[in-house]
Amino acid sequence: MLESISPLELNAIIANSPSIDQIGTLERIARIQARSIKGAAKLKGLRMALSMIDLTTLEGKDTPGKVRQLCYKAQHLHDQAADLPTVAAVCVYPTMVGVAKKALGNSGIKVASVSTAFPSGQAPFELKKLDTQYALDNGADEIDMVISRGRFLAGDYQFVYDEIAAIKALCGQARIKVIFETGELDSLDQVRRISDLAIAAGADFIKTSTGKIQPAATFPVVLTMLGAIKDHFDKTGQMIGMKPAGGISSSKLALQHLLMVKEVLGEAWLSNEWYRFGASSLANDLLMQYQKQQTGKYQSAAYFSID
Amino acid sequence: MEILKTYKLYIGGQFPRTESGRSYAVLAPNGKHLANVCQASKKDVRNAVQAARKAQASWAGKTAFNRSQIVYRIAEMLENRKVQFIEELAAMGLAQQSAEQEVQMSIDRCVYYAGWADKFQTLLGSVNPVGSSHFNFSVPEPMGVVGVVACQQTALLGLISQILPLLIGGNTVVVVANTTQPLCAISFAEVLATSDVPGGVVNILTGEVGELLPTLAGHMDVNALSIAPIDSNLQNAAQEAAIDNLKRVRIFTDPLHVKSAQGLPYIADFQEIKTTWHPVEQVAGGAGGY
């Protein structure tokens, strides 16, 4: 167990976390959403978004067969279209990590595992560590952990910090994404506060949601989190990744997210090393739009694989 | 003060303006300005097809009897608004008597197709004789989303005669209305919106056929086209654009609103026949049981 942060340092993090101007945030988003991307830029954006997807299946009914099918899709998004990128990663439950790892082989696609009693995070700390260790032992390249929202809302920041830091220490080389479940956090101020806390505790990525709670990755929430990443970068020069998850199901939304990232953080974040979309149905919509751009004809879901 | 009506599109059960923001003037034969209507664009076609696709499975999943009741309900709602439709037809140039006749025939046609809704299956389906121990039967199923270029000669009767046979068969439709006389089509959309027809089952666009038809014909998510008598160059272009997803294209050279063009054959045009082989136990020589 690594040494815990002192209450004084923790207080400083919380106290320095700025409050968010909600009206200003909404206006900035409205400006971003009013822009439209067309032609070559749109094609490039669609390809980029495809390469940033964490193709996800997180259901009680998941089976090895379903996971293998998803892994195949990750490598063959739409074989009718020449030289498409692959997705960034496949995201599954810890019990499916072994299956996914084997199915993906040396394709270069990473295996991300949710952990720490996803999605609620309501389990004893020891179990959360076992959960994470199990995923790592089976070959997970990335760990998507959930925070204890109840503790955070109750003001037990020490607990939340220690939990993130402990999982981070466990992960070693594997990158860790910290899921806030912003749909349960009530205000943008809270979102900013947990962003600062998680970054201080060692998060490689900060992630909006589990996908199990609505609302999920809304624009105000994502913009707030990007702001935290930006401030951290300006202060320390260290880059933190961002992963919106849940609710981004159309190409239009995905492109607007990319616009926002470029505007707030700059070109450096426009790669799947620093930006990811947690999604399942987004991939097909991106592919349909991509084909529309190529052929000039509106597409039908009937000609794209079911995932 | 007279409140003039804004004629808008009908997509997914809503009445949006065209996303393009364009409009055009509808004139009476004597040149009088009747109204401004939306001039729909490609993106409106896309939105309409999306709405039609979303509505299709549950519309086809309703019982035939329920679809019959809903179409009958259209007749009831039309009856209520008779006066409005007669006025609109007259404003667009029809003699009073012809206008009255057209509205009456439109109502009759709704009742006619309400009757067909749970009967055509029996006439188009069959049990087929086969030489093995199978129960072999064929049943009609809807094509899916059908693109419709409405009759350009009549404003109401043609439209109704063209879409009802598709609806009772479980299809959903995207209609390009009569370009020069579109008022009745949008008023008819108001009838649909208040007669238990679920949103998205019928979508009505007003605008240039020459602009909208190529997009509709090329759309990979449209399963069939029903094209009323229009310029043959446009019809040919639509057939070519429809090749990519092997749409069924039905092009009409004679007006559809006449009685002789109506009935079972037109319903059958937009049905796909599915044949099922169901194994049956051969208990004893010649006596199969199912």
Beta strands B248-251; B126-128: pairing state: unpaired
Distance of CA B88 to the CA centre of its chain: 21
C-alpha distance from A282 to closest chain B C-alpha (Å): 16
In terms of phi and psi (left: phi > 0; alpha: psi -120 to 50; beta: otherwise), the region of B150 is beta
Nearest CA in chain A to B54: A301
C-alpha distance from B212 to closest chain A C-alpha (Å): 13
pLDDT of residue A1: 47
Q: What confidence category does residue B286 fall into, taking pLDDT thresholds of 50, 70 and 90?
A: low
pLDDT of residue A230: 98
At A230, give phi and psi (nearest 5°).
-60, -45
Q: In this complex, do A298 and B244 lie within 8 Å of one another by their Cβ atoms? A: no
**Single-letter amino acid, residue B282:** Q
Q: List, in sequence order, every residue forming a beta bridge with B226; answer none if it has no partner.
A: B148, B250
What DSSP string describes chain A? -PPPPPHHHHHHHHHHSPPP-HHHHHHHHHHHHT----HHHHHHHHHHHHHTEEEE---TT--HHHHHHHHHHHH-S-TTSTTPPPPSEEEE-GGGHHHHHHHHTTSS-EEEEEESSTTT--S-HHHHHHHHHHHHHTT-SEEEEEP-HHHHHTT-HHHHHHHHHHHHHHHTTSEEEEE--GGGS-SHHHHHHHHHHHHHHT-SEEE---SSSSS-S-HHHHHHHHHHHHHHHHHH----EEE-BSS--SHHHHHHHHHHHHHHT-GGG-STTTB-EEESSHHHHHHHHHHHHHHSS---GGGS---
Residues of B in contact with A297 (CB under 8 A): 218-220, 244
CB contact at 8 A, A185 and A213: no
Q: In this complex, do B221 and A298 lie within 8 Å of one another by their Cβ atoms? A: yes
Q: Is B215 on the interface with A (CB under 8 A)?
A: yes
* Residue B269 clears pLDDT 90, i.e. is over it: yes
Return the closest-CA partner of residue B149 out of B170, B169, B173: B173
> Nearest by CB to B219, which of A297, A301, A303?
A297
Whole-number average pLDDT of chain B: 93
Q: Is B96 on the interface with A (CB under 8 A)?
A: no
CB contact at 8 A, B179 and B208: yes
Residue-number span of the structural domain to which B145 is assigned = 23-278
Nearest CA in chain B to A295: B218
pLDDT tens digits along B163-204: 999 999 999 999 999 999 999 999 999 999 999 999 999 999
Residues of B in contact with A298 (CB under 8 A): 45-46, 49, 215, 218-221
Q: Distance between CA B7 and CA A220 in Å, rounded?
A: 36
If you average pLDDT over residues B220-249, what whole number do you get? Answer: 94
The neighbour count for residue B183, using CB atoms within 10 Å, is 25
Q: Is A61 exposed, middle or buried (0-12, 13-18, 19+ CB in 10 A)?
A: exposed
Q: Is B220 on the interface with A (CB under 8 A)?
A: yes
Q: Is A82 on the interface with B (CB under 8 A)?
A: no
Q: In this complex, do B220 and A296 lie within 8 Å of one another by their Cβ atoms? A: no
> Two tokens at B215?
């997009």
If you average pLDDT over residues B17-25, what whole number do you get? Answer: 95
Q: What confidence category does residue B256 fall into, taking pLDDT thresholds of 50, 70 and 90?
A: confident
* Degrees to nearest 5, angle at CA B159 with B156 and B165: 130
pLDDT of residue B289: 53
DSSP state of B14: B
CB contact at 8 A, B228 and B158: yes
Burial of B256-266, coded b for 16+ CB within 10 Å and e otherwise, reads bbeeeebeeeb
Q: List, in sequence order, every residue forming a beta bridge with B289; answer none if it has no partner.
A: B281
Q: Which CATH superfamily is domain A13-296 in?
A: Aldolase class I (3.20.20.70)
> Two tokens at A143?
């760990």
Residues of A in contact with B46 (CB under 8 A): 298
Please tell me whether residue B7 adopts helix, strand or coil conformation.
strand
Residues of A in contact with B219 (CB under 8 A): 297-298, 300
pLDDT tens digits along B134-158: 999 999 999 999 999 999 888 999 9
Give catalytic residues of A, as residue numbers.
144, 207, 243
Q: In this complex, do B221 and A300 lie within 8 Å of one another by their Cβ atoms? A: yes
Q: List, in sequence order, every residue forming a beta bridge with A91; answer none if it has no partner.
A: A56, A112
pLDDT of residue A155: 94
**Single-letter amino acid, residue B143:** M
Q: In this complex, do A297 and B244 lie within 8 Å of one another by their Cβ atoms? A: yes
Q: Distance between CA B235 and CA B249 in Å, rounded?
A: 10
Q: Is A299 on the interface with B (CB under 8 A)?
A: yes
* Residue B288 clears pLDDT 70, i.e. is over it: no
Q: Distance between CA A45 and CA A52 in Å, rounded?
A: 11
Residues of B in contact with A302 (CB under 8 A): 220-221
C-alpha dihedral over B43, B45, B51, B52, to 10 degrees? Answer: -160
If you average pLDDT over residues B45-71, what whole number do you get? Answer: 97
Whether residue B260 lies inside any domain: the answer is: yes
> Nearest by CB to B218, which of A297, A301, A303?
A297
Whether residue B159 lies inside any domain: the answer is: yes
Q: Is A297 on the interface with B (CB under 8 A)?
A: yes
Interface test mutation site (partner B, options A300, A303, A304, max chain B beta carbons within 10 A): A300
> Two tokens at B85?
């439709």
- Interface predicted TM-score of the whole assembly (ipTM), two decimals: 0.84
- Residue B194 is part of a domain; what is its CATH number? 3.40.605.10
Q: Is B15 exposed, middle or buried (0-12, 13-18, 19+ CB in 10 A)?
A: middle
Q: Is B49 on the interface with A (CB under 8 A)?
A: yes
Q: What confidence category does residue B258 fall into, taking pLDDT thresholds of 50, 70 and 90?
A: confident
CB contact at 8 A, A275 and A242: yes
Return the closest-CA partner of residue B26 out of B183, B210, B165, B154: B183
* Residue B284 clears pLDDT 70, i.e. is over it: no
Q: Is A95 on the interface with B (CB under 8 A)?
A: no
Distance set, CA B49 to CA B10, B196, B204, B216, B279 (Å)? 12, 20, 11, 8, 39
Per-residue pLDDT of chain A in tens (307 residues, 90 and over written 9): 456 789 899 999 999 999 999 999 999 999 999 998 999 999 999 999 999 999 999 999 999 999 999 999 999 999 988 889 999 999 999 999 999 999 999 999 999 999 999 999 999 999 999 999 999 999 999 999 999 999 999 999 999 999 999 999 999 999 999 999 999 998 999 999 999 999 999 999 999 999 999 999 999 999 999 999 999 999 999 999 999 999 899 999 999 999 999 999 999 999 999 999 999 899 999 999 999 999 999 999 999 998 7
Domain boundaries, chain A: 13-296
* Residue B282 clears pLDDT 80, i.e. is over it: no
Nearest CA in chain A to B47: A298
* Residue B287 clears pLDDT 60, i.e. is over it: no
Nearest CA in chain B to A296: B218
